[in-house]
Chain A
Amino acid sequence: MTAFRLAQVVEHFHLTLEQAGELTDRQIAGILFHARDKEGRLSPPLIGPQKEQQLYPLSLEEELEWLEPMKSLWGEQQYEEAIKKVKQLWESGTRQKQLEKILNQQDASE
């Protein structure tokens, strides 16, 4: 901590050097120097609208994208088999029906 910052802590918060010495850098940075507005009032954290987490892929392209990280985990062969199966499900319309069922259940519960 710089002497300037220590002086600020001591002067502004009316602490003795002993009391300031008992604080951690994180406490000073996070609590004593918490963000403030122009008038010196504490600024609350900004929380924007929460993006709803998507639980199911809504198209074949999305599902293929979701599966890609599994390639290294499953190995080439198992990954290719999974891709093939997923494509079959979408082409036969089974996946669409499954999705429709899930979404209807969600709507009903809401």
Chain B
Amino acid sequence: MSVEAAYLGIPRVINFEGQEYEIKLISGKVKAEFERLMEARVAERLANQHKRGALNRQEYQQELRILGARVDSGEFALLNQSTALTTAWCQLLLLKLLMPTCPLETLERIYDERQDEIQYHLANILDESFPKTKQAAKELEAKNSPFAQKEPE
């Protein structure tokens, strides 16, 4: 990867049915928006449960407090090699933020039909957006390896 590609923030491009769609890099603003949308999704689920009567008011308030603690602990934060990106829904959510010019319907079709290409772009975008992403991934892999030396307890 050239220095220009890594640092100038030029968006990647995906061609779909004769149309070019740009995929932005993950800026600070995108990270913050992603976290907010993740929080909103859980809050909406809780609200629906409360509406259906699955949660009474006290339980609902308690769940909202737990949600606040989860957000504060950074559970929904988009960090490099984030676990938040392991589900299809979260990947789609991130893509919505990275491809603002692409209509949602088209985006969902691209995600379904070009799964491998999307994974390839996402991996590269993570690498281009965060410093030392590959190194962090290697360290994590080494740490989780069954051959890793464990510290004596």
Footprint of B on A, CB under 8 Å?
A: 1, 6, 20-27, 29-31
Provide the bound-state CA to CA distance between A22 and B30, in Å. 8
Quick check: B28 and A22 within 8 Å, CB to CB? yes
Provide the bound-state CA to CA distance between A26 and B7, in Å. 7
Quick check: A25 and B129 within 8 Å, CB to CB? yes
Q: With A27-B7, A27-B9, A30-B7 given, is the CB distance from A22 to B130 under 8 Å?
A: no
Quick check: B131 and A29 within 8 Å, CB to CB? yes
B131 — which chain A residues lie within 8 A by C-beta? 25-26, 29-30
CB distance from A49 to the nearest CB of B (A): 22
B7 — which chain A residues lie within 8 A by C-beta? 26-27, 30-31
CB distance from B9 to the nearest CB of A (A): 6
Quick check: B130 and A23 within 8 Å, CB to CB? no
Quick check: A26 and B27 within 8 Å, CB to CB? no
Provide the bound-state CA to CA distance between A56 and B18, in Å. 50
Q: With A21-B27, A31-B7 given, is the CB distance from A26 to B128 under 8 Å?
A: yes
CB distance from A16 to the nearest CB of B (A): 12
B25 — which chain A residues lie within 8 A by C-beta? 24
Quick check: A25 and B28 within 8 Å, CB to CB? yes
Quick check: B27 and A23 within 8 Å, CB to CB? yes
A1 — which chain B residues lie within 8 A by C-beta? 28
Quick check: B128 and A22 within 8 Å, CB to CB? no
Q: Is B150 an interface residue (CB 8 A)?
A: no
Q: Is B23 an interface residue (CB 8 A)?
A: no
Provide the bound-state CA to CA distance between A30 and B6, in Å. 10
Quick check: B130 and A21 within 8 Å, CB to CB? no
User: CB < 8 Å: which of B29, B32, B130 contacts A25?
Assistant: B130
Having A23-B28, A24-B9, A30-B7, one finds 10 other A-B pairs with CB under 8 Å, namely A6-B28, A20-B28, A22-B27, A23-B27, A25-B28, A25-B130, A25-B131, A26-B128, A26-B129, A30-B6
Q: Is B99 an interface residue (CB 8 A)?
A: no
A25 — which chain B residues lie within 8 A by C-beta? 26, 28, 80, 129-131
Quick check: A26 and B130 within 8 Å, CB to CB? yes
Which chain B residues numbered 2 to 19 have a C-beta less than 8 Å away from chain A? 6-7, 9
